[in-house]
Chain A
């Protein structure tokens, strides 16, 4: 082993980008007909460590919904398991998510009189995804969403009610009792601990280790890593006798990578994600021969506020009000887009206007629809405001009053008829005209929320390579994978995706033949 190989390379972004370019070039050569297998080349570039510091059957990267679900299923199938997490705490984006779990044909839906099925959910996903979804993956999520929800409930996760998200044709977002994904993450985490699975925080993936045939046999990590200091921590090697499961999430916070894929997404746009939502693990998989897809479909949330940091409280206000209250462009005083439209349509419409817009509701809709804690916190943060009259509201946001009142009167007539003749907003049966003071309103400006693209997986969560064959020993689930959502992910389907494919990945990883 040369001196160069012994030293762990500093995984700087530039090095990564250079190497991915290299990997793509190698893939190009392979497709060009030369007898070079990209995975073998990857193996040649990634030397085998002299000794492994730790060995498990299944090694899981990431501790969000997908990683923890995979860990539990792999352990239950008899495998020895560890979970590594680069950040200081477990949970990734999942522990800060809004706690909406989209599932079809559930007991809670039946109790609420909602008619739904896996087929309807699948059709919603495909339609909103512009039919770019990989049908098998979307179908798997829709069909197993109910059993995934029940599985979480069996582990103690509690759900309070079924709500609506733009783009769905029925109410199917099952909200956790605390309106946070933490309810599910922490119940899974308790189970992981009860099963004796070691979760190693501050442990960052550096690269995958492949054998000569290109099979993933382990990983190089840095232990004691202090995000975002790339020089922190010590090199260690973890062997995976059966498989590695990559559940490292998306790259919404990765300014460099997201601008490569979508150059519009400069620092002008904030993100709802935790700061560790960067793409280096995904790129490391590509360097080990895994293929990526649809990386430039990056979703912005149209319901975030410029008046608070991160995800904040306004999304929980906005999404409960669409179909009950109007969304107004303060420049014109008029509605401008279908409130119940999907995320992409709505975010694009706001970006086109070029300034923040208003979502509003009255004292019938808001107390009925909005989680009380979200309303209170949003108001304390100054992101949600309360007004005694429509005039006060208009004055505060500099809305031309006459046009505004005429628009509200028109909206109210649509609500009476339950039919929006202007923009075809879905108006719910229990919606009432916006007339009861005080009125509540918040400003909206999109933030980068979800990266639909990612690694190519099959219906078994098996990662596919640039040679269009499986990258043996590598599974992926959740936001790091691509294809489930196509062009646009529907609200609440991330939780379903992560739990469904996390479980599939964990089970299949445990089934692999042990490579001793």
Chain B
């Protein structure tokens, strides 16, 4: 499993603690605590449904305390509250937004026993690259859906992740502060 930034920090702290023995126990407890929460990572269930958090997340609370009941809710329903600073784009994994919009796992992955990565040609059956380019034409400092390097042909997966945090691929070389949904 890949170390998260948080894990790394704890790990580095633990390394230093070898010298500072009195800190050792505290750090150990912290490390264990984090290790235990990371065990409870959600399962990817082919049968998942948007309103059934527990199916994938188990006993872990997926929604914050006091969150509205999301039974029978779709993405349009979420957006009634999630506007402005509360907006979900870029925070909620893309797979959830797909689910909430009625796009089930198998609509992209197909009816298969073992689900594999979804190639771009599947994405473009719904998301037309030329239309996306028009839609984001006014985004500053650059239109994220076209570039002198790849035109509209850059693989969607370069930035957009469905089961993890999306990535600002352009930021490898550019100072573009895109919020990537």
Contacts and interface: CB of A to CB of B under 8 A. Distances in A.
Interface in A176-202: 178-180, 182, 186
10 contacts: A88-B158, A89-B150, A89-B154, A95-B149, A96-B173, A182-B148, A274-B172, A310-B172, A311-B173, A377-B141
A377 B158 CA distance: 23
Interface in B133-150: 141, 148-150
Which residue among B158, B169, B172 has the maximum number of chain A CB atoms within 10 Å of its CB? Answer: B172
Nearest to A308: B175
Contacts of B148: 178-180, 182
A377 B2 CA distance: 37
B158 A96 contact: no
A91 interface: yes
B155 interface: yes
A182 B173 CA distance: 15
Contacts of A224: 117
Contact of A88 (B141, B155, B173): B155
Given A89-B158, A229-B2, A380-B141, A186 B151 contact: yes
A94 to B, nearest CB: 10
B155 A309 contact: no
B159 to A, nearest CB: 10
Interface residues of A, number: 21
Given A182-B148, A309-B175, 8 more contacts: A88-B158, A89-B154, A89-B155, A229-B2, A274-B173, A275-B172, A308-B175, A377-B141
Nearest to A224: B117
B148 to A, nearest CB: 5
B141 A96 contact: no
B174 interface: yes
Contacts of B158: 88-89
Nearest to B154: A89
A77 interface: no
B2 A310 contact: no
B141 A91 contact: no
Contacts, number: 40
Interface in B144-181: 148-151, 154-155, 157-158, 169, 172-175
A311 B148 CA distance: 14
A403 interface: no
B149 A91 contact: yes
Interface residues of B, number: 16
A310 B141 CA distance: 16
A381 interface: yes
Main secondary structure of the interface of B (DSSP, over half): loop
Main secondary structure of the interface of A (DSSP, over half): loop
A223 to B, nearest CB: 12
B147 to A, nearest CB: 8
Nearest to B158: A88
Nearest to B169: A88
Given A88-B158, A229-B2, A380-B141, A309 B151 contact: no
A263 to B, nearest CB: 26
B94 to A, nearest CB: 17
Contacts of B150: 89, 91, 95, 182, 186
A57 to B, nearest CB: 27
A182 B149 contact: yes
A309 B168 CA distance: 14
A205 to B, nearest CB: 21
Interface in A209-228: 224
Interface in B99-147: 117, 141
Contacts of A310: 172-174
A186 B152 CA distance: 12
B174 A309 contact: yes
Contacts of A88: 155, 157-158, 169
Contacts of A311: 173
Contacts of A377: 141
A178 B117 CA distance: 33
Contacts of A275: 172
Nearest to A189: B153
Interface string A350-388: 000000000000000000000000000100110000000
A96 B169 CA distance: 14
A309 B141 contact: no
Which residue among B149, B155, B157, B158 has the maximum number of chain A CB atoms within 10 Å of its CB? Answer: B149
Interface string A259-300: 000000000000000110000000000000000000000000
Contacts of B173: 96, 274, 309-311
A275 B174 CA distance: 12
B117 to A, nearest CB: 8
Nearest to A309: B175
Which 4 A-B pairs give the minimum distances between C-beta atoms? A310-B173, A180-B148, A182-B149, A95-B149
Nearest to B140: A380
Nearest to A381: B175
Interface in A82-109: 88-89, 91, 95-96
Contacts of B169: 88
Contacts of A91: 149-150
Contacts of A380: 141
Interface string A378-411: 0011000000000000000000000000000000
Contacts of B155: 88-89
Nearest to A226: B2
A342 B111 CA distance: 60
A96 B149 contact: yes
